[in-house]
């Protein structure tokens, strides 16, 4: 899954993608580089980010979505937790909604997705962008994440989304200290067994790597990302969400060949 952010405050990409033409070209390049999905986002949800209105979010993503809907061969996901934004994006050609809140911010999002026959990614987090780290307290991070994702899964099915249309994301870097993110990655098979749904893992360029590689700008974290992506694939992830598509396609393909040889 290639990350296509059209926000002025992305932590890991150029803000030039606010220009729809630049964003469209970037998505087409990701597809050519081997991306199987494109994840389009109009609001930064990084820790500490300021929220934006649904109107502003739609103003950022709809020109890009409209430009890609007839040119992109791979499915488009829209990264939003807002029901109104999700509905408009699905109507404009998106196939998946990637909800970082796991339906905790707007429960009505499930109905918007179900009514349009879309798929949904439910990510684990706690709190909003500015408060999530204060809530990063776990007795057992894998057991707690599995339980809370199970609650999101139940909310989605009760909202009408078929089980086979739901993907789960343990939320590496969200409401988690570095040790929690590493713990989730290390114990991903355990999480996969507990949830019994396809897993998306998104470690790309995140700050949890600092305690391993030192303080580095986001654009210099692709080697660390490669290690995390490899771990995710070997641990059973079905989708990895990345910035550097061309490089990570090679990482994923080699890791997948190793996984095929596992007993």
R_g of the chain, CA atoms, integer Å? 17
Has 241 been annotated as catalytic?
yes
Could you give the C-alpha distances from 142 to 48, 122, 148, 254, in angstroms and in order? Answer: 24, 16, 10, 27
Catalytic residue chosen out of the listed positions 73, 241, 253, 259: 241
User: 230 by DSSP, 3-state: which?
Assistant: helix
Has 187 been annotated as catalytic?
no
149, 122 Cβ separation under 8 angstroms: yes
Could you give the C-alpha distances from 224 to 146, 171, 187, 218, 244, in angstroms and in order? Answer: 25, 17, 18, 10, 12
**Partners of residue 41 on adjacent β-strands:** 5, 79
Q: How many Cβ atoms sit within 10 Å of the Cβ of residue 189? A: 11
E strands present in the chain: 2-5, 38-41, 76-79, 96-99, 119-123, 166-169, 200-201, 239-240
Structure tokens at 53: 């209105």
Strands 38-41 and 76-79, sheet pairing: parallel
Structure tokens at 250: 């090679």
Using alpha carbons, select from 109, 102, 105 the residue that is nearest to residue 123.
Answer: 102
Catalytic residue chosen out of the listed positions 206, 221, 253, 260: 206
- Spatial separation of the C-alpha atoms in residues 140 and 118, rounded to whole Å: 33
Active site residues: 206, 241
């Amino acid at each position: 899954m290639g990350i296509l952010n059209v926000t002025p405050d992305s932590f890991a990409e150029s803000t030039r993608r606010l220009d729809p033409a630049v964003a469209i070209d970037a998505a087409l390049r990701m597809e050519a580089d081997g991306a199987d999905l494109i994840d389009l986002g109009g609001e930064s949800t990084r820790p500490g980010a300021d929220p934006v209105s649904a109107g502003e979010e739609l103003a950022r993503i709809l020109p890009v979505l409209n430009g890609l809907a007839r040119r992109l061969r791979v499915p488009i996901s829209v990264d939003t937790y807002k029901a109104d934004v999700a509905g408009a994006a699905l109507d404009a050609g998106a196939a998946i909604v990637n909800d970082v809140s796991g339906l905790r911010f707007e429960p009505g999002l499930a109905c918007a997705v179900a009514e349009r026959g879309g798929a949904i990614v439910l990510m684990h987090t706690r709190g909003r962008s500015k408060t999530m780290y204060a809530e990063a307290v776990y007795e057992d991070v894998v057991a707690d994440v599995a339980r809370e994702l199970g609650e999101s899964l139940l909310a989605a099915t009760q909202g009408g989304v078929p089980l086979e249309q739901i993907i789960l994301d343990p939320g590496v870097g969200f409401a988690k200290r570095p040790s929690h993110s590493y713990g989730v990655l290390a114990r991903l098979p355990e999480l996969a067994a507990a949830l019994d749904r396809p897993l998306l893992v998104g470690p790309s360029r995140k700050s949890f790597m600092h305690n391993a590689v030192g303080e580095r700008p986001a654009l210099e974290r692709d080697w660390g990302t490669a290690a995390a992506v490899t771990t995710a694939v070997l641990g059973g992830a079905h989708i990895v969400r990345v910035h550097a598509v061309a490089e990570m396609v090679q990482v994923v393909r080699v890791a997948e060949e190793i996984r095929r040889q596992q007993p």
